Structure 1
């Protein structure tokens, strides 16, 4: 059962979190391009598509921690420091996405004047948090699983 849960957890992370990080990273440059040339219909459509990808995959991404908790429970590592740090960083990444990235994207899509430079900064923070969680999941300091 552990291998199944781990496989689903890793696949969900790749399929759900990957598109959000890529689409969120692509969003600020497209927004800057649209602000520089407001008549660029192509940029407006791209902006809407990237925002939709971020919203949909953010919801789908909920399965990542769900299967992560299941995997950690099966492995008996719920109290490990590396996992607790990963959980905190994952929660922080979710807050950054839900409270900062997605609302700023919505404001730009709707033409309400958000700042693409600030959006790029918070998107970078979101991506850095996920990168850190990924490294912790691979390295697992103090882990007894042999990795």
Structure 2
């Protein structure tokens, strides 16, 4: 597999402004002064992505109480994100990166192995961005199931 951008703790988080499920623009800069979990997932309403989103939903109160907001980013169109949000009762912003430019900049899109073949796609990844906009945690190739629990453990929550 080829080398691609990978963010490391201490790096400045790449800025972004993306439409949410309702078409409103959400920017990373909107969260300045708060810590934010930014996670990238391949497709709304698929089994793994649904499990992951519901795990974030179910942990949201604990994360919020500890000062962490959550943003989910996928290449889905806003209308699909709205349906996914409503179907699953998700209470955090889902953002649309249709051209995958933000994913690419964060190292969450590129070559990956899928059933033994090398393909281009979304690399399921989770980041914690600190209050100053720097990467505190960068996790690539996370599993859909169990990774929110691991993140909570790593954050001491």
The bucket for the TM-score relative to the shorter chain is under 0.3
TM-score of the superposed pair, with normalisation by structure 2: 0.25
Q: TM-score, length-normalised on structure 1? A: 0.26
Structure possessing the higher radius of gyration over alpha carbons: 1
Structure in which a larger fraction of residues adopt strand: 2
| Higher-helix-fraction structure | 1
